[in-house]
């Protein structure tokens, strides 16, 4: 019989209503029992562990690294791993775990938009689908994904696309790997192989995201560096543009050896250095073009790359090769 591991971390899926608002009240065993009422136990054995009990907007990078270590352990002793997690930072947590995951054992993040005690909760069905996916032999070697509202989406490129709707996770411009319903799993596409870039025992350095908005000056850039950021990612306009003040400050930073990643605030599509005095200027100065990754995933990629001492061609080239291998930027040859 296949053995799966369910790791619970909290999130709305595990919350109930109280006087002050929703708070985490339920652990892995109760979540599993609710999921098994959806389609039964599926002939697999599921072992459970509560890693922590938090809403995901309160998690730190250190908390997610502790989760990555729990996933590593679980992958050694089971055929598939499911993580229940808050949706607010699921796209970052799943991505960070994907950067550390070096096993063919599939990992699925899932959660809910409605609390555990909602009269029509989505959590049990999402969890049932996630267990069904990682318990399917065709999931082996597909890495880390997010299973939500019946879709299986790879962690790389995934975004939360709705604040409250049930169909809350997509990777715009990328295919779903599979779908899951009461009939079982339908496989649609091959998941990209994700090269390991981060040791989960190593805390990466601080990398900040700097937002762009009409008339933004360079205060955010300067404040981040003053606060100790070893790299920055710009959440740029459109295909990756920045205000003149931001461009000037970042060109200066790049000149002094601080890596700057270029991403977009748009929500879909790749960035490209097109405009003089905007993205083109930054790319000429050596900014790392983050392809279609969100600023939040880009920031974790750059932080992970910075844990490597003197990588061949530098940190920017390490990111570029990684982005190319997961299909986030176009290949050179």
Ligand X SMILES: NC(=O)C[C@H](N)C(=O)O
Active-site residue, selected from the candidate residues 5, 15, 84, 87: 87
Our CB check for ligand X shows the closer of 20 and 332 to be 20
- How buried is residue 144: exposed, middle or buried, by Cβ count under 10 Å (0-12/13-18/19+)? buried
Q: Is 309 a catalytic residue?
A: no
Restricting to residues 259-278, name those near ligand X by CB under 6 A.
Answer: none
Closer to ligand X by Cβ: residue 78 or 113: 113
When binding is defined by CB under 6 A, the residue of 6, 28, 32, 56 that contacts ligand X is: 56
Is 11 near ligand X (CB under 6 A)? yes
Q: Which residues within the stretch 176-205 sit at the binding site for ligand X (CB under 6 A)?
A: none
In the list 26, 80, 86, 210, the residue contacting ligand X (rule: CB under 6 A) is: 86
In the set 4, 6, 8, 12, which binds ligand X (CB under 6 A)?
A: 12
CA distances (Å), origin 272, targets 78, 278, 295, 303: 42, 10, 14, 21
- Please give the C-alpha separations between residue 242 and each of 173, 213, 278, 285, in angstroms, as whole numbers: 23, 9, 5, 14
Tell me the pairing of strands 21-24 and 207-211: unpaired
Spatial contact of 85 and 9, defined as CB atoms under 8 Å apart:
yes
113 binds ligand X (CB under 6 A): yes
The answer to whether 55 contacts ligand X (rule: CB under 6 A) is yes
Give the distance from CA 280 to its chain's centroid.
28
Is 87 part of the annotated catalytic residue set?
yes
Q: What are the angstrom distances between the C-alpha of 19 and each of 16, 116, 119? A: 10, 16, 18
The answer to whether 105 and 80 have CB atoms below 8 angstroms apart is: yes
Least distance from ligand X to the Cβ atom of residue 266, Å: 23
Q: Is 250 in the site for ligand X (CB under 6 A)?
A: no
Stretch that binds ligand X, among 30-38, 81-89, 209-217, 321-329 (CB under 6 A): 81-89
Token pair listed for 75: 């992958």
Residue 128 Cβ vs ligand X, minimum distance, rounded to whole Å: 17
Choose which of 33, 57, 182, 223 interacts with ligand X (CB under 6 A): 57
Report, as residue numbers or ranges, the catalytic residues.
12, 87
Give contact residues for ligand X (rule: CB under 6 A).
11-12, 55-57, 86-88, 111, 113
């Amino acid at each position: 019989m296949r053995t799966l591991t369910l790791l619970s971390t909290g999130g709305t899926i595990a919350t109930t209503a109280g006087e002050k608002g929703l708070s985490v009240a339920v652990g892995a065993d109760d979540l599993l029992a609710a999921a098994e009422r959806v389609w039964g136990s599926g002939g697999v054995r599921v072992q459970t562990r509560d890693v922590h009990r938090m809403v995901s907007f309160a998690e730190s990078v250190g908390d997610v690294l502790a989760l990555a270590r729990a996933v590593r352990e679980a992958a050694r002793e089971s055929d598939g791993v499911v993580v229940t997690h808050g949706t607010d930072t699921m796209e970052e947590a799943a991505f960070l775990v994907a950067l550390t995951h070096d096993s063919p054992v599939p990992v699925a993040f899932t959660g809910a938009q409605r609390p555990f005690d909602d009269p029509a909760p989505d959590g049990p069905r999402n969890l049932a689908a996630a267990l069904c996916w990682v318990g399917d032999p065709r999931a082996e070697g597909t890495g880390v994904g997010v299973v939500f509202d019946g879709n299986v989406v790879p962690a790389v490129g995934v975004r939360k696309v709705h604040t409250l709707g049930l169909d809350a996770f997509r990777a715009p411009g990328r295919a779903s790997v599979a779908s899951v319903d009461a009939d079982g799993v339908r496989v649609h596409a091959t998941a990209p192989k994700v090269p390991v870039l981060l040791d989960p025992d190593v805390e990466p350095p601080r990398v900040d995201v700097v937002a762009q908005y009409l008339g933004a000056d360079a205060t955010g850039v300067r404040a981040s560096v003053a606060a100790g950021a070893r790299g920055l990612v710009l959440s740029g306009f459109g295909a990756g543009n920045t205000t003149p003040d931001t461009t000037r400050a970042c060109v200066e930073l790049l000149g002094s050896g601080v890596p700057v990643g270029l991403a977009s605030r748009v929500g879909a599509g790749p960035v490209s250095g097109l405009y003089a005095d905007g993205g083109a200027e930054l790319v000429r100065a050596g900014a790392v073009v983050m392809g279609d990754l969100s600023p939040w995933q880009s920031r974790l990629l750059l932080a992970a790359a910075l844990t490597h001492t003197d990588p061949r061609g530098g940190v920017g080239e390490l990111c570029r090769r990684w982005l190319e291998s997961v299909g986030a930027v176009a290949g050179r040859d």
